[in-house]
Homo-oligomer: A and B are copies of this chain.
């Protein structure tokens, strides 16, 4: 599941990071490096490295004579994959899931449009293959196989868009989709309408129809948002 974190320093991060993102230490809390080092039973060098990483994520700020101050949520680097993972694993998972799904609803349609304009023949083929895989596993409670193709589909869309910022969201989307299957309840087979939409997006991309690809993808993300409204309580 989550990376255990290589090295002592990684282990400390894997404990302290989730604790902070979970709000265990409220913003403004002050920690001392030495105490943390004692608590985790590591040397100060190791502790300092961990603090440096947390600082680079803007989760904390280290100041002389003061200590390590926990920063307010609005300062956090919420796009850091590690931070995303920590938050998804923690208490405000529902909230985070909603934020990310809204983000998807903004990004993916535009990405699909670009993909329709830029995709290579191979990428088109790959996309079609993914869509077919989704169809093949859309009935009979083969959710796991379906998920794999679903993730691959969206990853291709984001990568083939040719925009590096979009491409880098592949992991995030994967995490959101996987979360839906694994954590949130999914009794039935996936929505047939959604499956059809994916096939149609692949079609539109093959035909280079950017407008249609964008519009269809927008429908997919709207569906995802509606599904989320049903599955997780809206705050």
Contact = CB atoms under 8 A, between A and B. Distances in A.
Give the interface centre of A53, A82, A109, A165 by most chain B CB atoms within 10 Å.
Answer: A165
A100 B165 contact: yes
Contacts of A45: 45, 48
A73 B164 contact: yes
Contacts of A56: 53, 56-57, 80, 82
Nearest to A84: B165
B107 A168 contact: no
Contact of A110 (B49, B99, B106): B106
A201 interface: no
Contacts of A78: 164-165, 168
Interface residues of A, number: 35
Contacts of A81: 77
25 contacts: A9-B52, A49-B52, A53-B56, A56-B56, A56-B82, A73-B164, A74-B164, A74-B167, A77-B81, A78-B168, A79-B80, A79-B168, A80-B80, A99-B163, A99-B164, A99-B165, A102-B110, A102-B114, A103-B107, A103-B163, A103-B165, A103-B166, A105-B110, A106-B110, A107-B107
Given A79-B79, A103-B166, A106-B166, 7 more contacts: A45-B48, A56-B80, A56-B82, A76-B168, A77-B79, A79-B168, A106-B110
Interface in A86-137: 99-100, 102-103, 105-107, 109-111, 114
A164 B92 CA distance: 13
